[in-house]
């Protein structure tokens, strides 16, 4: 899933995530706690971003995709 499907993600945050190499929800969902802390610091220079909400949504989407793939295979 593309990152822009996450609610409340703005263009600036999306661009910063892409610059960090996070291009989709699955990649965001698998970030370690330390990676998420670093991302939060980088994204929130200008404003508070709901990173935890985005990660939760990304993990949910990734689990749905994994479950769907398991059913197909």
Residue for token pair 């706690």:
33
How much is the pLDDT for 7? 85
pLDDT per residue rounded down to tens, the chain (73 residues):
899 998 888 898 999 999 999 999 999 999 999 999 888 888 876 666 788 889 999 999 988 877 777 776 6
Its pTM stands at: 0.75
Which residues face 2 on adjacent strands? 24
8 Å CB contact between 29 and 51: no
How much is the pLDDT for 65? 74
How much is the pLDDT for 8? 85
């Amino acid at each position: 899933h593309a990152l822009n499907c996450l609610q409340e993600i703005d263009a600036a945050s999306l661009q910063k995530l892409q610059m960090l190499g996070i291009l989709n929800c699955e990649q965001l969902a698998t970030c370690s706690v330390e990676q998420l802390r670093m991302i939060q610091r980088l994204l929130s220079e200008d404003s508070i971003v709901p990173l935890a909400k985005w990660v939760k949504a990304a993990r949910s989407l990734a689990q749905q995709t994994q479950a769907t793939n398991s059913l197909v295979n």
